[in-house]
Chain A
Amino acid sequence: MLKADGVTKRFGGLTAVNGVGLEVRKGEILGLIGPNGAGKTTFFNILTGIYKPDGGTISFDGRPIHALPSFRIARAGMMRTFQNIRLLKEESVLDNVKVGLFGKTGSGLWAAILGLRSAKREEEEVTARSLATIERVGLKGREREAAGSLSYGDQRRVEIARALASDPKLLLLDEPTAGMNAAEVQEMTDLIRAIRGKGTTIVLIEHNVAMVTGLCDRVAVLVHGEKIADGEPESVIAKPEVVEAYLGKPDEEVIAVAAHS
């Protein structure tokens, strides 16, 4: 459903993403791993149109999207979360999630000013769907709290709810479990599985190798902006170059941690 080819992005002298080709198949959970600064987030930013690539093509559902503005890509059904949480902190959780449904709705100002039935109905629908999504990510009952006053982990859930509310075809998650403990990671893993269960394709960036191997159908590895591996999780993380660049030499401890999930 998503096909990137030769995607490149440079910042001054630094090539953050270098000729990356990646295919995402419908219905899968694809893990994107790699050392810090490998270009994973940058790659997401290119996919979602926040950065314009310096080279390469991207097609989504058979349509080229690399030249489209962000909001069009979002409306085409690709939603994301941000590594550095970007919520509207003073607004309620509910209002934050409603934002995610913008592209799915269409009533304009006149409808609102004139109080048209269609606008009202649409608004009700937005509320209902948002509430349902909030429940799905496990924040039921906290709809009215200011997003900024939630703890870090809960803020991540709101981020996911916002991206999820519009039932995107493709969901991009940037480190969804950062700052969560093992039990919470487990919950998040279940949530992501459930989301996929409803037909949403998922690409996720993670540093929790245990989780990635347990959850993902496929894993791609970026190092220094280049893709060095792509395939079955177990086989990928066993590759020596991946071990060297990302995991460090195998060590009981890492394996021990990984074994827990």
Chain B
Amino acid sequence: MLIQQLLNGVSLGFIYILIAVGLTMVYGVLKLLHFAHGVIYMVGAFAAMAGMTYFHMYFAVAFLFALAVSGAAGMAVERIAYRPLRGVHPITTLISGIGVAIFLENAFQVAFGSDTRAFPETGIDVSIVRLSESVSLTNTKLYIITAGLAGIGLLYAFLKLTRLGLAIQAAAQDMRAASLMGVNVNRVVSVTFFLGSALASAAGVLVAMNFNSLYPTMGAIPGLKAFCVVVLGGLGSIPGTIVGGLILGIVESLSDGFMTGMVVDKDAIAFLILIVILLIKPSGLFGKNIEKV
């Protein structure tokens, strides 16, 4: 059973990783306290649902449609709610992001109702993949793991191999200096938001499909967990995001599987671990803290 539980943890962890990769770009690299990430994730799920239900798209088309819609939404959020706040206390971004989240969650409730709804039929049947006698996994979870790996790969390639990736990091550290290097900071930030949001929406679609449910407030808790993962890993670190997500998934799965009657629940345990790790390594698992006085 332990092995099955660990596997459950890993697949749960990959859900968190998938949600967190987008945030790793925006919060981890750009250092923008982006509290509307969870909402973008929700927008993605709804966009795919709307594409399939109202425009009768195939699942694959709807998936791409969702990426585009969320990417655009993310760019709009940055444009409207964050860009005017550059150079002010980062907490203002956080508040503005919370405002956006409240607005969109309620707008979606008006548009789609607050009920949980089922994800449209995708044509993908859930089947069980047996890894051994007692260990198994559903195929949808395998897709999530694959998508998580793909997301991480994309992030890595983007940050490490492209000019723009380097420019993003530079812009995050010093926007003025970056613009003096000829970086169009606004464009770079927009692109980052587009990619980060598209990744969030990929997560939203896959999760909604896997659990066959979506509702306007679905992003709230995953959004917070994603923050937890990004911080746990040490802002902006790719291995950190993977390890952070896995730790969170495995901890939750083990506490679900083996513990009962605790004074705090599993979400709290996840944060407890986060705090303990930060106390030991104040800059996160893979974070570097350098200060020169």
Q: Does A45 contact B (CB under 8 A)?
A: yes
Please indicate the chain B residues that have their CB under 8 angstroms from the CB of A102 in the complex.
none
* Docked CA distance A41–B292 (Å): 10
Q: Cα distance A95–B270 when bound, in Å? A: 43
Minimal Cβ-Cβ distance residue in B for A51 = B293
Q: Return the CB mask of B140-183 against A: 1 if under 8 Å, else 0.
A: 00000000000000000000000000000000000000000000
A: interface residue count bin: under 10
Taking the closest CB of chain B, its distance from the CB of A79, in whole angstroms, is: 15
A41 to B293, CA, bound (A): 8
How far is A51 from B292 in the complex, measured between Cα atoms in Å? Answer: 10
Per the bound structure, the CA–CA distance linking A242 and B176 in Å amounts to 38
**Which residues of chain A are within 8 angstroms of B293 by Cβ–Cβ distance?**
41, 45, 50-51, 82
CA distance A45 to B293 in the complex (A): 7
Question: Chain A 180-211 against B: per-residue CB contact (8 Å), 1 yes, 0 no?
Answer: 00000000000000000000000000000000
**How many interface contacts (CB-CB < 8 Å) are there between A and B?**
5
Min C-beta distance of B293 to chain A, whole Å? 5
CA distance A50 to B292 in the complex (A): 10
Residue of A nearest to B290 (CB): A11
Interface string of A22-65 (1 = CB under 8 A from B): 00000000000000000001000100001100000000000000
Docked CA distance A221–B293 (Å) = 21
Question: Which residues 247-293 of B have a CB within 8 angstroms of A?
Answer: 293
CA distance A14 to B43 in the complex (A): 50
Q: Which residues of B contact A51 (CB under 8 A)?
A: 293
* Nearest chain B CB to A159 CB, angstrom units: 13
Interfacial chain B residues near A41, Cβ < 8 Å? 293
CA distance A51 to B293 in the complex (A): 9
**Distance of A200 Cα from B199 Cα, bound (Å):** 61
Cα(A79)–Cα(B293), bound, Å: 15
Chain B residues closer than 8 Å to A82, beta-carbon distance: 293
Q: Report the minimal beta-carbon distance from A105 to chain B, rounded to whole angstroms.
A: 25
A50 vs B293: C-alpha distance in the bound complex, in angstroms? 8
Q: How far is the CA of A240 from the CA of B293 in the complex (A)?
A: 31
Distance to closest chain A CB from B290 (angstroms): 9
CA distance A54 to B240 in the complex (A): 29
CA distance A82 to B292 in the complex (A): 11
Q: Mark A61-83, 1 if CB is under 8 A from B, else 0.
A: 00000000000000000000010
User: Please, how many angstroms separate the alpha-carbon atoms of A82 and B293 in the complex?
Assistant: 8
A110-156 interface with B by 8 A CB criterion:
none
B59 to chain A, nearest CB (A): 50
Give Cα A159 to B293, complex, Å: 15
Within 8 A of B (CB), among A210-257: none
Shortest CB distance B38–A (Å): 33
Closest partner residue, chain B, to A82 (CB atom) = B293
**A230 CB, nearest partner CB in chain B, Å:** 24
Expressed in whole angstroms, the minimum distance between the Cβ of B292 and any Cβ of chain A is 8
Closest chain A CB from B277 CB (angstroms): 22
Residues on B with beta carbons closer than 8 Å to the beta carbon of A45: 293
Cβ contacts under 8 Å, A50 to chain B? 293
Instruction: State how many angstroms separate the Cβ of B165 from the closest Cβ of chain A.
Output: 25
Q: What's the least CB distance linking A24 to chain B, in Å?
A: 20
A36 to chain B, nearest CB (A): 13
Q: How far is the CA of A51 from the CA of B290 in the complex (A)?
A: 12
A15 to chain B, nearest CB (A): 16
Q: How far, in Å, is B113 (CB) from chain A's closest CB?
A: 47
Distance of B45 from chain A, by nearest CB (Å): 43
Separation in Å of the B15 CB from the closest CB of chain A? 37
Nearest chain B CB to A116's CB is how many angstroms away? Answer: 34
Q: In the complex, which residue of chain B has the Cβ closest to the Cβ of A44? A: B293
Separation of A194 and B224 alpha carbons in the complex (Å): 58
Could you tell me the distance between the alpha carbons of A93 and B163 in the complex, rounded to whole angstroms? 42
**CA–CA, A45 and B291, complex, Å:** 12
CA distance A204 to B197 in the complex (A): 52
Instruction: Give chain A nearest CB distance to B281 CB in angstroms.
Output: 17
Q: How far is the CB of A9 from chain B (nearest CB, A)?
A: 12
Residues in B100-137 with C-beta less than 8 Å from chain A = none
Q: How far is the CA of A92 from the CA of B293 in the complex (A)?
A: 23
- Rounded to whole Å, the gap between the CB of A78 and the closest CB of chain B is 15
How many Å lie between the Cα of A25 and that of B293 in the bound state? Answer: 26
- 5 closest Cβ contacts across the A-B interface? A45-B293, A50-B293, A82-B293, A41-B293, A51-B293
* Residue contacts A-B, CB under 8 angstroms, 5 given: A41-B293, A45-B293, A50-B293, A51-B293, A82-B293
User: Which A residues are closer than 8 A to B by beta carbons?
Assistant: 41, 45, 50-51, 82
